[in-house]
Structure 1
Amino acid sequence: MSDLRGGTVGETSPTDAKAVAPRHRASAGGARTGRRRARKKAPSRGKRILRTAAMGLSVLILATAGAGWWFYQHLNGNLHTVSLTDGAGGAGKETPDAFGRTPINILVMGSDGRNLEADCKLGGGCAKTGVQSGGNADVQMVVHISADRSNATMMSIPRDTLVDIPACTDQETGASTPGYHGMINGALAYGPACQVATVHQLTGIPIDHFVQLGFSGVVTMSDAVGGVGVCVSSDVYDTYSHLKLSRGEHTLKGEAALQFVRSRHGFGDGSDLGRTYSQHIFLSSMLRKFKSAGTLTNPAAVYRLADAATKALTVDTGLGTVKKLVSLAADVARVPTDRITFTTMQTVPDPDDENRVVLADAAKSLFATIVADQSLTGDAGEKQAKNTASPTPSATATASPAPASGIAVDVRNGTTTPGRASAIGAALVEAGFASGGTTGNAAGTTDTTTLSYGAGRLAEAQTVADALGLPSSHLERGGTGLTLVIGGDWTSGTSYPGSGASPEPADTASAAAGAHARTADTSGTCAEVSPYKTVEINGVPMTPAQAYRAAGDKADSDG
């Protein structure tokens, strides 16, 4: 007899036996029954694959989450934190704008201390003392990020500036001072908080945070981004920092990057002022590298950068977690490079010591623009701040006014409030602007209102901004016509909120005069090699270019 599967009863193969056996299960009493039981249908091959994939995905998610948590904890463990006010005076407090937003001011310090074995190896000077504590803040830069995150100013403070150091005590080392008059970089010997208090006392700028890194930090950071592009105007050999480069463009990594940012005898007049200018070129290039898609979308590059940064940094307790540093980095990333202005605090020679400088009166205007949260990037001048030796034109300067009747504006709603574009568009027409503009929704929501303008249409954009009460910091070059995108900072009314509530300070042309202003989007600018005899070989004074030729047997820094 054949069963329903085509086999013959009593002549089963081993495979058939496995299939038949489950039909003859023992009953509760131990007797077998011939009754078939309905078998549960086996899952299809497709379902089995999906089930296996789901299990694998679950394991992957758990593993990734575990790795992410480990990475987060690892980075937090890298950070060294110090209280902003430990043993020092106050650092001031920011004033919120009309919307309750506050700017951010950070003091970035580069220390010459030999606090790690790697610093000793790079900087030397540890043969007798070994690893040391403390050090001088040979690089000091106040980084100001505007309240609306649309612009930033980075102001260098020359290390040779003579100032009054306040009374300070370093809570970690116990080093203290009742206060004295001396070089500003020396305040770091009494702790980072003392350096912060000194800068605040000098400038009146509130300092919210500080970030400090040493020699090895510069090396690891430049390596983490794959090198930083720089250019030098001539052959240069600084026999003090050991920087040796041929004329033209170079990509610097590791120790070569450190030699470049440390070089003061290779550039300018051989003073610390020339060094700040070359550092701006280096930092501008690094910022552009940070923002490049290849750097921040590559997981391996991000890991190297995050690991290197957190190991290299000492920060205040307010920035003492990776989450807070990431938030700060996001604020910086929001600012376009053409809206980031590098400046150097204006100084004049000290009448009692030609090797030292003191604060110039012009610096007070520069400090005032930062305190008032005013951009130094001049839209009206089409970013003439790119000219390294030219003062930045006023951000409030206006081109010849354009009549409203000939201006059509496209308005887009970037808020979650319906009808905003139509309301502003109608208000513009009622104010005398042309009716040819369109209204509609933006591609997505945005926090900040912007007015973009095409080439040759700056005057028209200023006319629109004046009519709406929109600050000049909200204007940006882009597109072909005029497009107003309403952001979350303007959810009601037809005049920009807070317009006219607080007048802007003195024009930024005077604030940036002599400040060597340049924007971070400037590429191809070469650091000016000193034409003076600022270095020497075997006791013979010579220019850095002469030293380069005389040291033909010494390898270039990027060799």
Structure 2
Amino acid sequence: MTHSATTEPRPDRRAPSSGGRRPHRGKRRWGRIVLLSLLVLVLAAGGIGYWLYSGLDGNIKGVDIDKAIGDDRPEKLPTSGQNVLILGSDSRAGANAALDKAKVSGARSDTALVMHIPEGRQKAVAISIPRDTLVTRPECTRTDGTKVSSARRVMFNSIYSQVGPACVVKTVEQMSGVRMDHYVEIDFSGFKGLVDAIGGVTVTVDQDIHDSSSGLDLTAGTHRLDGTQALQFVRTRHGIGDGSDLGRIGLQQQFMIALLSEIKKQDLLGSPAKTYKIADELTAALTTDSDLASLTKLADFGRSLNGVDPSTMETIMLPVAYDKVDPNRVVAAQPQASQLWKAVRSDAAIPESAKKSPATGG
């Protein structure tokens, strides 16, 4: 979610990581998980004293997007609607490196969603941006203050590791003309402690998984995973399917659904100590924009989404077509992509014509 994205094996045209319907369905589930995560925080906040959960503010890492990007940004929506850029990342730093048999370092982000919450906050639309999309990266500033020049035909998921999250936000805003009101990043590695805090997560696999790279060794059937096994599970790629990122993404989404189901089973209101532990681990896995970087603000934002039913969320993949120069990469398809972003900018219903993606035959 570590080698730079540009050094990973290039996907096969027959099953591009950006175009198939499997990741499209999976990202819909992943978007629902983000909504459920926010609602879990709201529930957790009600189960412990204010003085305790306010002390968790320091766990949530904040990124000052406004400062990093400056004033060169699209206008906010003309309504009370909101747009949130959500990234799923996987850090290989620190103690987590010991669990990585491949001995790679750094962090990457292979899951990117623009979650559009229209005025009224009664529904949500998640727009997935394929990781292999070629985009123009604007001039950006790294966290150390160094400038990175604009570049054309950059693979989308390379921007996070090479320049940082603020540049991902700026890239999405410039390619779409849509202002991102908030940024939320969820670190899969950060869930290791959370899994141990809730006593493990139960998953069922329909085939044996033996992956020497991640260290995961499971037989087909139902298993109760501890934190270390859970981290191996979400990192497994070579032990499932054809060894591509599609199989790993599917496992990550399966795990996240199982994790949220497990949290919902916990007696959050009846066990303040356990609730605090769960909230502590969950907030430690989050990075947000500075406007959401406190538990109180994040819980308030989660409460504002109470009317959104995750099961009714609509997911749209950014319409893409195979690149004419490199058929293993995709580019935004026109005029569909422009129609899609125009509808989001005006907080209007997205026309069916804007949902058709030539790369998937949809």
Q: Report the TM-score when normalising by structure 2.
A: 0.69
User: Deviations 1:20-77 (Å, cap 9, x if unpaired)?
Assistant: xxxxxxxxxxxxxxxxxxxxxxxxxxxxxxxxxxxxxxxxxxxxxxx94652453122
Matched, 1:174 2:153: no
Paired position in structure 2 for 1:409: none
Aligned letter for 1:320? A
Aligned letter for 1:138? D
Matched, 1:78 2:59: yes
Matched, 1:150 2:122: yes
Structure 2 matches for 1:30-429, cutoff 5 A?
68=49, 70-88=51-69, 90=72, 92-97=74-79, 102-115=80-93, 117-123=94-100, 135-170=107-142, 172-180=143-151, 181-188=153-160, 189-266=162-239, 270-291=243-264, 294-295=267-268, 298-342=271-315, 344-361=317-334, 367=341, 370-371=344-345, 373=347
State the SS of the aligned residue for 2:183.
Answer: strand
Distance in 2 (alpha carbons) for counterparts of 1:333 and 1:261:
28
* Alpha-carbon offset, residue 506 of structure 1: 1.1
Aligned letter for 2:233? F
Question: Could you say which structure has the higher helix fraction?
Answer: 2
Aligned letter for 2:171? T
Distance in 1 (alpha carbons) for counterparts of 2:285 and 2:100:
15
Aligned mate of 1:506, from 344, 351, 355: 351
* Alpha-carbon offset, residue 359 of structure 1: 3.1
**CA pair 261-190 structure 1, distance change in 2 beyond 3 A:** same
Aligned letter for 1:327? D
Unaligned runs of 5+ in 1: 1-66, 374-501, 518-559
User: Deviations 1:307-327 (Å, cap 9, x if unpaired)?
Assistant: 112222222111121111111
Question: Which structure has the greater CA radius of gyration?
Answer: 1
Q: Report the TM-score when normalising by structure 1.
A: 0.47
Identity %: 37
Does the CA-based 8 Å contact 1:94-1:206 persist in structure 2?
yes
> Aligned pair count?
311
State the SS of the aligned residue for 1:325.
Answer: helix
* Alpha-carbon offset, residue 343 of structure 1: 5.2
* Alpha-carbon offset, residue 223 of structure 1: 3.8
* Alpha-carbon offset, residue 155 of structure 1: 3.8
Does the CA-based 8 Å contact 2:65-2:166 persist in structure 1?
yes
Moved more, 309-318 or 254-263: 254-263
Does the CA-based 8 Å contact 1:158-1:273 persist in structure 2?
no
Unaligned runs of 5+ in 2: 1-47
State the SS of the aligned residue for 2:115.
Answer: strand
**CA pair 236-251 structure 1, distance change in 2 beyond 3 A:** same
RMSD of the TM alignment (CA)?
A: 3.8
Does the CA-based 8 Å contact 2:53-2:295 persist in structure 1?
yes
Aligned letter for 2:350? P
Distance in 2 (alpha carbons) for counterparts of 1:281 and 1:258:
13
* Alpha-carbon offset, residue 184 of structure 1: 1.4
